[in-house]
Structure 1
C-alpha cells in the first residue's frame, strides 16, 4: 500500500528547499513542475529563503559563491567556500551558443533576485535579465532607433529595479541631454519612451558612477521601487552641485533625495546595505541613511578594531562582502584572497529565488 501525502504538505515542505533542488524536482512529475513554477509558490519560497549568495563576474564568465554562514568573519581560503563556475554553462547559451562574448561589461545590483547585464560582442551590445539561481535569462529586445541613441548620447543613466506594488521589473535609460527616458517593462514585455520631468534646473549633468566602458553609460542603485543615482551638475548660472536623484518605477517620475550639503560632495559611491542606502565617502567612511529620504538620519557606521581587524577591500567598482552585525557594526564577511585564481572580478550579492525572467 503506497502512502499519499496531502498536496498542501508537499508544497509546504518544498518551499523550504534551495532553488537547485527545486529545479531538479520539476522533473518528478508534471504536477510538481506546475506547482513549483506557480507564482504563489514562488512568493512563498522567496519569503522562506533569505540566505545571501554572491555572483562573481570575471569578463564573460560568471561564478556563483555560496558562503558557509558558520565561517563568517574568519580569514578564509577558497576551500572553505563553494564556488560554482558557470563558465561552461553559459546563461545565455540558448540564444548565443554559437558566439563567444568578449566581455560582460555591466551587471546591475540585484533587484528581487534578478540582475540586468550588458554583454559585449561587437558590434552588438545586448542587455539581458538574468536569474543566477535558476540560470535562466531573457534578452531585452532592442528598441527602435536604439543603435543611434546608444552611439550618439554623451551621457546615459542606466538602471534596473523591481517595484513590488505593481510586481514588475523595469529597465530604464535616461538620455540626459535630450531629457527623455526609455522604459522596458518585463511584465508587459514592451518599451515606451516618455518626456522626462527631471527635477533639477541644469545646463549640464553627468553621473558620478560609471562602469568600465568606452561609452559614457552609468548605472543606478535599486531600492524601494526606485532607481538612484548620484549626479554632478552645473546649472545655468555655472554653479556646481551634487545631488541624489531617484526615478520612481511606479509613477515613472524623477524625485530628489535630500542630502546634507557638506556631505553630498564627499560621496564617492552609493550601495545598499540591509535594505538601506549606504554612502562611501572619499575617506572610505561608511554612512547609512536609517530613514529613507531623511537627510538627518545619515549615521556613520562603526568599524570594529577587535576581534576582527578591518580592512576595506576595493575591487574594481565595489566593496566586497560587507554586512552589519546585530549591533550595527560593519563587519567583513570574507577577504578577497579567497578567490585566488579568479582575477579582476566584481561581486554582487543576491538572495536566490525562482522568478522567471520572462514572467510576463
Structure 2
C-alpha cells in the first residue's frame, strides 16, 4: 500500500479533531483508547481548550453533600455530578445517585469550580488558638486528575476563599482573603503549579459574610459581598446600614481589586444578609424585603453598574411560606431559583416563567448540601 501523503494525513487529523471536539467529555475518556493517534489528539492542549469552548455550559451541577453518621462521629462528605434538569425534577434522587460520586475527607471544603476543575481546601484547625493550616488541590471528577497540594498557609479562622481562571496567563488561581483584628484585609494568591503564595495588600477593609465565603467567579474576577469598614471581626446586623454593603471584585489578571456598587433601586436594608450568585456569566444579588418578599437583581453586563435590573420580586405568600427563605442557587438564566425553606433539609424551587412552586424535602441524613455550576472537561493543568 502506498504511503499516505503528509498533506492528506494532516487533513485527516484535522477532520478527526473537528468531529471529536463535539463529542461529550465522558465518552472522550474512552475514545482515547481506540488508537494512539486518537489518544494523541484528545490529549493535546489545543484540543482540550477547543473541546472546553464547545462544551455545553450551565447544564451540570457539582453537588457537595455531608451525610450524617452515628452520633458523635463527624460527617462523611462527598461530591457528585448531576444534570440541572435531573436535579430540578427530583433533587433527592440526584443526591442519592452513586454514579459520579467522589468521597472527600472530613477536613475538606469545596471552594469553587471552574472549567471542569474543582478546588478543594483542606483545613486543619489548631485547638484553642483560632489558627488553622490550609492548603488547596485541584481535581477533575471526570478524568480522575488530582493536582499536588499548594503550599500550606497558617491563617486565622476568619477567611474567605475563591477559585478561578486567569486566561491571560492560562493559569488557575486560588485566593484566600485574610482579615486581621484591626480590619485590614490581605489576599494570598496561589497559581497552581507554582511554588509560593503572593501577598496582595491593596484590598479595601471589609467583612465578608460567614454564609457566603466562597468568591463568585465571573469575567476573570472573584467577587464577594460584604460590609465596608466594620469595627472588629463581628457585627450585629441590626446596626448595619445600606451604605455599608459593598461588592469587592478581585481581578485575577492584575491582582487588583475594585468595588462594585449595589443596585440604585435598593431603598432599605434587607432583614437578613443578602448573597451573590452567578449563572450564565451574569451576577445576581438576592435578598429578602421586609421579611415578606424575595427579591433578585441581575447585572446584565458584568462590571456595568448601570445594567442592574430587578428580575424578580415575589411574595412569601405566593411561595406558600410565612417565614424568610434563604436564597441558595439560580438555574436557567435566572428563571428558576432554589431557596432553603423553613429548615435545612427543605428546598423551595420557584420558576418565574410560569410562577410554579415546588417544595422538596431532602432525606434527613443529608445534613448539608451545596451546589456549584459545573462543566465536564478534559482539563488537567500542569
> Counterparts of 2:121 and 2:357 in 1: how far apart (Å)?
27
Alignment of 1:352 with 2:362, yes or no, is no
> Counterparts of 1:297 and 1:311 in 2: how far apart (Å)?
31
- More strand per residue: 2
Alignment of 1:22 with 2:23, yes or no, is no
Gaps of 5+ in 1: 93-100, 212-217
Gaps of 5+ in 2: 2-8, 67-76, 127-132, 232-238, 336-350
Alignment of 1:138 with 2:147, yes or no, is yes
Deviations 1:88-134 (A, max 9, x none): x54x7xxxxxxxx2254x32343233221224577775422222332
**Which residue, out of 254, 257, 265, partners 1:251?**
254
1:1-360 residue pairs with structure 2 within 5 A?
6-51=12-57, 52-59=59-66, 60-67=77-84, 75-76=89-90, 83-87=97-101, 90=103, 101-102=105-106, 104=108, 106-119=109-122, 125-143=134-152, 146-147=153-154, 150=155, 153=156, 155-177=158-180, 179-186=185-192, 188-198=193-203, 200=204, 202=205, 205-210=206-211, 218-234=213-229, 241-260=244-263, 263=266, 265-266=269-270, 268-283=274-289, 284-302=294-312, 318-319=328-329, 321=331, 323-324=333-334, 330=352, 337=360, 343=366, 344-356=368-380, 359-360=381-382
> Counterparts of 1:84 and 1:334 in 2: how far apart (Å)?
28
Q: Bigger shift: 125-134 or 44-53?
A: 125-134
| Distance 1:11-1:293 versus aligned 2 partners, 3 A rule | closer
Cα offset for 1:135? 3.1
TM-score normalised by the chain length of structure 2: 0.70
Q: Secondary structure at the match of 1:165?
A: coil
TM-score normalised by the chain length of structure 1: 0.73
RMSD across aligned positions (CA): 4.0
Asked if 2 retains the 8 angstrom alpha-carbon contact of 1:246 and 1:255, the reply is yes
Structure 1 runs, 4 residues or longer, greater than 6 Å off = 77-82, 121-124, 309-312, 314-317
